[in-house]
Amino acid sequence: GAGVSQSPSNKVTEKGKDVELRCDPISGHTALYWYRQSLGQGLEFLIYFQGNSAPDKSGLPSDRFSAERTGGSVSTLTIQRTQQEDSAVYLCASSSSRTGPGRGYTFGSGTRLTVV
Amino acid sequence: LAKTTQPISMDSYEGQEVNITCSHNNIATNDYITWYQQFPSQGPRFIIQGYKTKVTNEVASLFIPADRKSSTLSLPRVSLSDTAVYYCLVGGPSNTGNQFYFGTGTSLTVIP
């Protein structure tokens, strides 16, 4: 597609339920990133994919968080047993190369997750 | 990792030039300086990138002094549509996501 597409745009879920967030990157972009942005805060790195592998999972806040990427394209971020502190905007970005000093990131509009 | 420090917020009147300064005292030799802009309910968008001296594009200018421990994003003649959060990032060619520190950015409000 023309840009990075994320779905759903908004998600309200009950505490303890599992949620899946989807990211469809720009076609041909090999690198994919997930970030989290809490209200009024900066972006918190979660995980990075190069192709289908995730060389850097250092930002995942707990083992309730997992992510996968298939076919070098779509990625899914799964949060199990959601907690209220998981409420945030989850942003996905893709870039055409693993290297490049932060220039080539194209972000989606994010998924706003609210845990009630 | 080179973290950055920016003012939390700034106000400016329409038509004025706005300068946002970012401190990055522990910048590494091969680090670049990149600025992103974020509007409400959108993801950040690349504005400009530089390594040293001055870089200019159709949107902004970036001034980097010789010691590279700071940088200044300059927005000429701002309009209401420039109201956004501006992030300064520092990193090198081999860095990946966790090594780009977005921080809280600078919230710019343009006043009519």
**B57 CB-contact burial (10 Å; exposed 0-12 / middle 13-18 / buried 19+):** exposed
Chain B CA closest to residue A55: B96
Distance from A58 to chain B by nearest Cα, in Å?
8
Task: State yes or no: pLDDT of A27 exceeds 50.
Answer: yes
Check A56 against B98: CB less than 8 A apart.
yes
For A82-86, A100-104, B65-69, B101-105, which range has the lowest pLDDT when averaged over its residues?
Answer: A100-104
Query: Given the structure tokens 């004025």, which residue do they identify?
Result: B16
The share of chain B scoring above pLDDT 90, in percent, equals 69
What value does the mean pLDDT of chain B take?
90
Closest approach of B78 to chain A, Cα-based (Å):
23
The residue among B4 and B17 whose pLDDT is bigger is B17
| Interface residue A56 vs chain B (CB under 8 A) | yes
pLDDT for A99: 44
Q: pLDDT per residue over B45-58, tens digit each?
A: 999 999 999 999 99
More confident residue, B34 or A18: A18
3 state SS of B81: helix
pLDDT over threshold 60, residue B7: yes
Do B10 and B20 form a contact (C-beta atoms < 8 A)? yes
Alpha helical stretches, state H, chain B: none
Write the CA distances from B19 to A38, A53, B51, integer angstroms.
26, 40, 18
Q: What is the pLDDT of residues A54-109, one digit of tens each?
A: 888 888 999 999 999 998 899 999 999 999 999 999 999 998 765 455 667 889 99
Q: What is the mean pLDDT of residues B77-83?
A: 96
